[in-house]
A and B are shown apart, each in its own frame.
Chain A
């Protein structure tokens, strides 16, 4: 309230009194002004103190927040139990059921109340039939198995190359997730946090899709088997590339190094390598049915190194062609000694017959 709004009040500063000089403030108004000025002065001082920055900005913005995306491994099975299963067949749903059963059933991986994150490969806005993305049937089988094992929630995510909405729609993954009651989590800037891998050389202060892991207790990776000029093959470990944000392409200068680090970024509960049809050439985009070959194999393991070691044979290559396998093994991500996992091989036809 200003003084001029009270005309005629004694002491109104706007009108001179009989002596001809402006009247003094009356005591109440003076105190009120004093209080107001003090409050503002203290508030300004307090705000300054709260935001006080004695050093100025650092050269590089961004804090180093995370050291990994988490260890989601389930308890290892008793000795002698198979820890790697290969299933031959063509029906992804039936193969998934058979493979998981061979490793002790979905209950060995997912418990009641778990929140399961399914990391699919949705890199391109390409229809499922071209095999550049995780097959929707495999996703549907995994979601249903998780729910049957009592999962409270199933979330599907990836940070693809093309626009995320298109990738999930065109690949059929969004439809499969919707029909099975899983949620698609599209990457958005707020979901990324900087991560520095302890001992990492490449993944230092790098944005990763950490927001997708909020509340997650189990992680299952579902990857197709694809040719890849630079890495030799794109399978389970290369699939984790989709957890990186930023201009992640610079890591292709040391692709084997970064794939080995991706294995340390995240310890999955289970990886499923879908080689029902393998992309033999033109990977990882494909684009033609001529690039595909029916290899009728699906590989299950908690060890992505072992799964990829087996899977590369589907492309007619050997583990020696993938230097990242040795690097990942040396980094403790898993083992290339597949035999040590007591592998089993099943055939859908025989099981059915």
Chain B
């Protein structure tokens, strides 16, 4: 088998695997659902994630050991991951190939001439590693694996849901996903400018592989320098822009093996020696380039303290910054989250959302909870997000730990925040209308939301009696209430008898009121007042876990009348609200 065929088979395999992992990242036991598929395996293969979290946390989380394996193999044979495995690389290669169908070999060769801009990705790598070293892991913004998972899962798959229901029956929504989708489209479109534009100029993971590849003992190169006809056919299909016809730029070779396949005289091969036509380890750095590289690293290292000055993660942070259950405290969370979007994708409620501004610039696209969106709040019996987080920024909780049962009974349930009733918007508090949907849906037992019952006079509800027959009152003027008088929520009491028990209205309206029982003391000429029976919700902050069911179900749309903010969240530890 020709090596490019082997490469295409491998790329196809990894691309299909990627699509499969995206499709099945839905909670459930069906074949097309999560069941036990290792949906994070491709993300685990990423040594930049491993290196970034290592710099930020000084530990290597178990699944990321795979990344070291990939790095180790790169030390021996170069950037095989870019050429054979990376799903974004495959998509880039496919779009670049499509954009160049029918282009002359000479033009193609011009496209693939190595340029100084290929050094940009090293500056980006330096920037991201500088960030990570001081605790602000940002690699996920441009690291191709988190990027491609985030883009496809959040921007592409939901397009196929409404009406069609490819993955979900109900449409999925992600805040600000427009930017994520646009960035993905832009990355693909840039392949029309240069083949594998992202891989050559931007990809920080590629830069890391490029640095690792310079020591590779087995590498692509020319067998002899002298006998080559300089037809540049090798360069016309070179994906990396590494100049296989001349002085090879080792770090840029993606191992696409097109040069090897195209060479009419078989002078290019994969061998345990350097290219006979000469090699250079890295793209051409001018002195200015080297300074830029240093400056980028320094800027990255400075940005983390700057974010700390901004205090988007500390006392100054937004009260609506609520992280998924099991999230580490904000500082440690930001040292691990790679914004891959796996937790957003898997959440059955669709309430985990990419932060656009809530978590500050440092937390762009990190997961936050938005209880206004989705199907319901955070389901008590669900721990899916922590199970799929590839870096344990969201810890893999057990159900017992989330609910505070068994061994975790002493610690109590995990709290995401606390619900607050907005008495200026709540129907029973502000409008004199019965409601308490929040109390009903509160999943805590005993409920964190409880009610106090009150009887409040309704507007225009003071009515003179014209006569009394048993439990039926004849009115001197008709009753006008805005609701259903017989709904069981309306009561009648003799005016001036505040201690008397109100009697329930069971029918009427108009000039007659039917009561559930006779009203003691009622007589023609006296006045009655119509009351509405209200149950006003209260939150017990010691019980509230901040799941947001109440906020989601509150019938006051727009700004809800009960809202969860991050107060009292478990992950903040010393930031708790209650003494």
Contacts and interface: CB of A to CB of B under 8 A. Distances in A.
Tell me whether chain B's interface is mostly helix, strand or loop, or mixed: loop
A291 B484 CA distance: 32
Nearest to B171: A189
Contact of A169 (B29, B440, B442, B486): B29
Contacts of A254: 434, 483-484, 487, 489
A229 interface: yes
A342 interface: no
Given A125-B381, A166-B348, A253 B441 contact: no
A228 B488 contact: no
Contacts of B170: 164, 187-189
B447 interface: yes
Given A162-B375, A252-B555, A323-B488, A169 B28 contact: yes
A320 interface: yes
A286 interface: yes
B530 to A, nearest CB: 16
B488 A286 contact: no
Interface in B531-558: 535, 549, 553-555, 557
Contacts of A187: 169-170
Contacts of B443: 124, 126, 285, 287
Contact of A161 (B348, B380, B433, B441): B441
B428 to A, nearest CB: 9
A287 B405 CA distance: 12
B557 A247 contact: yes
A164 B169 contact: yes
Interface string A160-185: 01111110011000000000000000
A186 B445 CA distance: 28
Interface string B127-145: 0000000000000000000
A290 B506 CA distance: 35
B169 A252 contact: no
B427 interface: yes
B355 to A, nearest CB: 22
A256 to B, nearest CB: 5
A165 B28 contact: yes
Contacts of A327: 486-488
A252 B437 contact: yes
B349 A162 contact: yes
Contact of B442 (A125, A186, A285, A320): A285
B169 A253 contact: no
Contacts of A229: 436, 439-440, 451, 535
A284 interface: yes
A127 interface: yes
A285 B445 CA distance: 8
A250 interface: yes
A239 to B, nearest CB: 14
Interface residues of B, number: 51
B446 interface: yes
B436 A252 contact: yes
A161 B445 contact: no
Contacts of B483: 253-254
Interface in B286-303: none
B554 A249 contact: yes
Contact of B441 (A125, A255, A285, A291): A285
A109 B376 CA distance: 36
Contacts of B440: 228-230, 252, 283-285
A38 interface: no
Contacts of B169: 164-165, 186-188
Nearest to A283: B440
Contacts of A125: 348, 379-382
Given A250-B555, A254-B487, A290 B376 contact: no
Contacts of A201: 484
B379 A230 contact: no
B412 to A, nearest CB: 14
A162 B162 CA distance: 19
Contacts of B484: 201, 254, 256-257
A190 interface: yes
A277 to B, nearest CB: 15
B446 A281 contact: yes
A253 to B, nearest CB: 5
Contacts of B28: 165, 169
Contacts of A166: 27, 348, 379, 381-382
Contacts of B375: 161-164
B434 A165 contact: no
Interface in B458-510: 483-484, 486-489, 504, 506
Contact of B445 (A165, A189, A249, A286): A286
A283 B442 CA distance: 9
Nearest to A123: B441
A257 B143 CA distance: 56
A253 B427 contact: yes
B435 interface: yes
Nearest to B505: A323
Interface string B231-269: 000000000000000000000000000000000000000
B506 A323 contact: yes
A96 interface: no
Given A169-B29, A229-B535, A256-B488, A190 B163 contact: yes
Contacts of A300: none
A324 interface: yes
B419 to A, nearest CB: 15
Given A162-B376, A165-B348, A188-B170, A290 B555 contact: no
Contact of A163 (B163, B348, B434, B439): B348
A169 B506 CA distance: 42
A187 B557 CA distance: 22
Contacts of A124: 443
A323 B487 contact: yes
A283 B162 CA distance: 33
B235 to A, nearest CB: 37
Contacts of B439: 229-230
Nearest to A232: B488
Nearest to B438: A249
A282 interface: yes
B319 interface: no
A197 to B, nearest CB: 14
A288 B486 CA distance: 35
B68 interface: no
A326 interface: yes
Contacts of B444: 287
Contact of A287 (B376, B380, B488, B553): B380
Contacts of A186: 169
A252 B451 CA distance: 15
Contacts of A230: 434-437, 439-440, 535
B228 to A, nearest CB: 45
Contacts of A190: 163
Contacts of A324: 488
Contacts of B445: 282, 285-288, 290-291
A285 B443 CA distance: 6
Interface of A: 124-127, 161-166, 169-170, 186-190, 201, 228-230, 247, 249-250, 252-257, 281-288, 290-291, 320, 323-324, 326-327
18 contacts: A125-B380, A126-B443, A162-B349, A162-B375, A163-B348, A165-B27, A165-B28, A166-B381, A169-B29, A188-B169, A229-B535, A247-B557, A249-B554, A252-B437, A254-B487, A256-B488, A323-B486, A323-B487
Interface of B: 26-29, 162-163, 165, 169-171, 348-350, 374-376, 379-382, 427, 433-437, 439-447, 451, 483-484, 486-489, 504, 506, 516, 535, 549, 553-555, 557
Given A285-B441, A320-B516, 8 more contacts: A165-B27, A166-B348, A166-B381, A187-B169, A252-B435, A257-B484, A287-B380, A327-B486
8 nearest A-B pairs in the assembled complex, by CB-CB distance: A323-B488, A287-B445, A288-B445, A188-B169, A163-B348, A249-B555, A163-B375, A250-B555
